């Protein structure tokens, strides 16, 4: 089954790849690797803001992380000139969680992105990962995630 068909089964339509918010490029293709810049939590209504451990639940954070993963795939699609079938695998995700000093469930939050990648991509979605806390993130968003993808 194609990636686009899996996404449709999950009820997900990839948005246009978000434009960078500063002086950087959204992705860099180096050999067969695509390095995608950090994607911040946002949905159709706008930015998903808040601090885990104060404003948002783990479940809300996981949904924010899933939205980051959707943006990562949108950037990958753009990097592949619209052809997601070129994806061989997700190599690594690095997730940053805007959280209080005593919040310890960063892995559960970033699971929202990891679980989505596996649901959308099957075994090609399994990846190495880091999940870390941040005192704040750009624009006050809840989550930011960057990724490395391998192309066939």
For residue range 32-46, list pLDDT tens digits in order. 999 999 999 999 999
Give me the residue label for tokens 């624009």: 139
**pLDDT tens digits along 78-113:** 999 999 999 999 999 999 999 999 999 999 999 999
Query: Is 0.95 topped by the overall pTM?
Result: yes
Q: How far apart are CA 124 and CA 117, in angstroms?
A: 8
pLDDT digits (tens, 9 = 90+) for 43-63: 999 999 999 999 999 999 999
* Amino acid 1: pLDDT: 80
For residues 7-19, give the mean pLDDT.
94
Phi first, then psi, for residue 93 (nearest 5°) are -115, 140
Q: Please tell me the distance from the alpha carbon of residue 144 to that of residue 125, in angstroms, as a whole number.
A: 18
If you classify domain 40-151 with CATH, what class do you get? alpha beta
State mean pLDDT over 67-83: 97
DSSP string covering 77-141:
HHHTTT-GGGEEEEEEEEEEEEB-TT---HHHHHHHHHHHHHHHHGGGG--EEEEEEES--GGGB
Structure-block tokens of residue 25: 């490029």
The residues near 26 (Cβ < 8 Å, ≥ 6 apart) are 17, 18, 19, 20, 36, 37, 75, 78
Length of the chain: 152
Rounded to whole angstroms, the Cα distance separating 15 from 82 reads 12
């Amino acid at each position: 089954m194609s990636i686009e068909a899996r996404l449709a089964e999950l009820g997900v339509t990839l948005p246009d790849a978000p434009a960078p918010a500063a002086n950087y490029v959204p992705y860099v293709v180096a050999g067969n690797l695509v390095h995608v810049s950090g994607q911040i939590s946002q949905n159709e209504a706008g930015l998903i803001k808040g601090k885990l451990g104060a404003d948002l639940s783990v479940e809300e954070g996981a949904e924010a992380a899933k939205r980051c993963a959707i943006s990562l795939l949108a950037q990958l699609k753009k990097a592949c000139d619209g052809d997601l079938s070129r994806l061989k695998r997700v190599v690594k995700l690095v997730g940053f969680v805007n959280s209080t000093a005593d919040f310890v469930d960063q892995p559960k939050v970033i699971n929202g992105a990891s679980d989505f990648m596996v649901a959308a991509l099957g075994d090609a979605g399994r990846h190495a990962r880091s999940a870390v806390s941040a005192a704040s993130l750009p624009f006050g968003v809840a989550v930011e995630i960057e990724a490395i993808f391998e192309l066939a």
